Structure 1
Amino acid sequence: MSFDVSSNSKYSSSRNSKKQARDAKITIEFDDNGQPCNDETTQLLSWIGVKARDANLLPLSYLDWRKIPQQNKDDAVNKIYEKFNIPEDKRKWVEKKLSKRWRDFKHLIKSNVFNKYSTHEERLAHLDARVPLEQWNILLETWSQDSSQIISERNSRHSSNREYSHTTGKTPFAVIRERKRKEHPDGLPPSRMELFKTTFTKKDGSSAYPIVEKKIAKMDEKLSKLPVQMRDDSDMQDKIFRETIGEDTHGRVRMYGVGLTPKQIHGTAAKRAASYSRENAQLRTHFMMLQETINEHRAEINELKDKYEMLQAQMEKCLRVMKGQQS
């Protein structure tokens, strides 16, 4: 019996290549604000959600995220780092995202099971398979207490106060901001007013929420009252955004997602970076104006040159005629 060694070698090589592709880490890029911003970010957030919903890794029986043993949190973060190539100094960011998704999962279970059904049998029949029974019993006891119910009602009121939601689906604002920045000729990020229009409207510019259209119309009206040369100024657009949408609350900056504070966005370093960006844009505009002036002068010179050559040709023709008459 004979074996085709080359064929087996090709199969082995192909299998190894596929394994390497599976094992290759996905690289995540971060912007100047410390937020993941490349298109692979959606994969990262999805995987963080998967690990946050792993009750064996991050038990749901704890009332508060802060009560979960740090070792469990570290293990969950390590699971994320096994799949993604993330800078080491972003571990706190990953942990914060795990915390958010863990709380979201608990809220989902409470809304879809505990609040929806009143008897133990009904709740057990509709219990999410990802929730271990022993953890469910602890959750049931906790949620049945009066203090827990008061907190839940307060959080529900806060959620119901939201007047509208964005249209970006699972794509984070930081990713959209980075895309818009790359589209800008000077590499400038969009203002919050521009980002609001992009993320809270459909592709045709309309919105499912009349209040969104009213706010956009109000911002556009205020912008139109500014001198033309000031309408592209990001500081002026941000001022209009805050006047229309509202001032930032403590520890949160609108249009920047979770984890960023007003000081980080509006602090000295941020202002300096924004100033450099604006100066770069102004220099680029000035250069383009000079280039345009040079091109205009070049066109005038070429026009004069053509006239000179035409006059010279006419003069030579006249000289030839005069010379012929004399002879």
Structure 2
Amino acid sequence: MSNYDGNVDFNYEDIDLDNVNQSQLPNNVPFDDSETQDVGGLYNAQVEVNENVEVNVSCTKKSRGPNIIHWGEDGVRERIKWDKFGAPLWPRKKCAQFSNFIGSLAADGGFYPINISDWRHLKSESHKRAWERVKGTIDWADPHTASRRSAIKSYVFKRLQDRWKHHKSQLKQKYWLPNQGKPERFNCNLELVDQIQWKEFVQYLDEEDTQTKAAINVSNRSQRIMHHSTGTRTFPAVVHEWQVENGVEEQPDRWEIFKLTHSKKGCKDQYVDDASTKAVMEYEHAEEERKKLNIEITPQVREDIYAEVLGVEKRNIVRGLGAGVKWRDVPYIHTEKRAVSKTVEALQAKFEEQRLEAARLRSEAEREKVEAAKREERIRSELAEREKKMVEEMEKFKRDQMRIMEDNLKMVEQRAVLRMGQWMKEAGFSGIDTASQAFVEQITQATSTQPQSNIPVIPTPSMQHGYRPEMPRTLTN
């Protein structure tokens, strides 16, 4: 079987798609058709094959043939409502027509040949031509549609990948499995299938490695015991119809969507299989147990119970919300912990620990800086207060000393006056009242105007106060 050469690798960056492929999926993981069954309507019901059952090709029911595509007939550009992830919502008939159109496009070997083993190996030119075909059928004049152009593009390629895988699976089950090991397996009378592509596809299916992977996929597929009841409608379309019917604008959470998409038609409390019924019972029991413990049933708690009952999400795929939804779009989601994820998680935990430690050190440094600034301000304030107090004390001390000096000076002056009076009396001066106030004031004034000296100054009394004796003249011969 021809796979691809070095010049046909498809690069999603060329058409600005967000994770259109599932490159992280291992080859032994089966495709999980979680939304539609045979959207293109190209085949009979799937033939179950196992070791204990022989397939009777002659008894297969006659097919009604491929659906007639009504989407975009006669060049009409269709207008429908889309959700934020690019999935069609309303009206229901147009949404079904769009799904049929995507299925037929994926089954067209001119766009997506079946002799390519991996979606990632398809030519980018095929994707570009397919998108131009889809884009030409949509009315982009509608502002609502135009605003979701990128999301619609991403959704379309996810659905094309889904339908292309489904198309190859149906061809294998109808034309290869019944004739495995026989020359007739190279004959495929379906007009949509290119015979050269079919022969190369058969050669690929005959390879031992391919059959080993197929056996693993069959085993994994057989473990699926839970099914939905939405038919060709997408999960977002079912939710939208429920919102319209009940006049509710807020979207229900994942558990309510699970019950909507797994209940029987017209029976709200009855579910399509035992596995779905058991899951509902387990969820309700877990919710009641939490209520008994006085635990508030918040959206986070509901997600916890969802993961407890249905398991964690894997491979960046979110169950129950339709194509295009990623882990980052669902709050409180529980995801798988792979070996690489655990390593990354350990590194992230270590980095987070270091980040928190660095933040703590920065916080302590900032706190120390603030406290140092406060201490510095407090010291400055205390120093200023002490300086002010010291200046006031010095001023007070100076005033006290001046007062003491003045008092002492007055005392010295009084004593000096008294002593001067005594000297004058001893010297024989009379007629001077040394105790009179006028005399004291005169002496005080004289001492205050004369320069200070260690020698006491004895003023000469005025002659008006008494007689001044004269020295006796020496008698001459």
Per the TM superposition, whether the score is higher than 0.5 is: yes
C-alpha RMSD of matched pairs (Å): 2.8
Q: Look up the SS of the partner of 2:257 in the other structure.
A: helix
User: Out of 226, 244, 255, which is 2:309 matched to?
Assistant: 244
Give CA-to-partner distance per residue, 1:176-223, whole Å, 9 cap, x none: 122233445551111111111111120323234222111111212233
User: Residue 41 of structure 1: which of 91, 95, 101 is its match?
Assistant: 95
Question: Against the structure 1 CA distance between its residues 111 and 132, is the aligned structure 2 distance closer, same or farther, given a 3 Å change threshold?
Answer: same
1:127 CA drift (Å): 4.2
For residue 77 of structure 2, what is the amino acid of its counterpart?
K
Percent of residue pairs identical: 20
Match of 2:172 in 1: 110
Matching residue within 104, 109, 118 for 1:55: 109
* Amino acid aligned to 2:281: A
Residue of structure 1 in register with 2:136 after alignment: 82
How many angstroms apart in 2 are the aligned matches of 1:183 and 1:232? 26
- Distance of aligned partners of 1:33 and 1:234 in 2 relative to their CA distance in 1, 3 Å threshold: farther
Distance 1:78 1:199 in 2: 33
Matches within 5 A, 1:1-327: 22-38=74-90, 39=92, 40-85=94-139, 87=146, 88-89=149-150, 90-125=152-187, 127-183=189-245, 187-202=249-264, 203-204=266-267, 205-227=269-291, 233-266=298-331
AA matched with 1:223: E
In 2, Cα distance between the equivalents of 1:168 and 1:192? 15
Q: For residues 236 and 21 of structure 1, do their structure 2 counterparts lie closer, same or farther at Cα, with a shift above 3 Å needed?
A: same
**Deviates most, 120-129 or 38-47:** 120-129
Q: CA deviation at 1:96?
A: 2.2
Task: Judge conservation of contact 2:227–2:272 (CA < 8 Å) in 1.
Answer: no
C-alpha distance in 2 between matches for 1:232 and 1:30:
31
Task: Supply the AA of the counterpart residue of 2:255.
Answer: M
Structure 1 unaligned spans of 5+:
1-19, 269-327
In structure 1, how many angstroms separate the alpha carbons of the residues matched to 2:248 and 2:322?
24
| Matched residue SS, 2:226 | coil
Distance 2:227 2:218 in 1: 16
Aligned position for 2:392: none
Q: What is the distance in 1 between the residues matched to 2:296 and 2:187?
A: 59
> Does the 8 Å CA contact 2:287/2:297 hold for their aligned counterparts?
no
C-alpha distance in 1 between matches for 2:332 and 2:84? 13
Distance in 2 of aligned mates of 1:35 and 1:101 = 15
Relative to the length of structure 2, the TM-score reads 0.48
Shift of 1:174: 0.9
- Residue by residue over 1:133-179, the C-alpha shift from the partner in whole angstroms, topping out at 9 and shown as x without a partner, is 11111111111111211222222222112112101111110111222
CA contact (8 A) 2:107 2:192 kept: yes
The one-character-per-residue Cα deviations of 1:203-248 (angstroms, maximum 9, x if unpaired) are 3232342221111112122333455998874443333222111111
Closer/same/farther in 2, CA of residues 111 and 263 from structure 1, 3 Å limit:
same
CA contact (8 A) 1:28 1:41 kept: yes
- 1:33 and 1:264 in contact (8 A); partners too: no
Gaps of 5+ in 2: 1-71, 140-144, 334-477
Greater share of residues in helix: 1
State the Cα distance separating 1:106 from its structure 2 match. Answer: 0.7
The answer on whether the counterparts of 1:173 and 1:257 sit within 8 Å (CA) in structure 2 is yes
- SS of 2:271's equivalent in the other structure is coil
Q: Which has the larger radius of gyration?
A: 2
Alignment partners' CA distance in 2, 1:171 and 1:152:
28
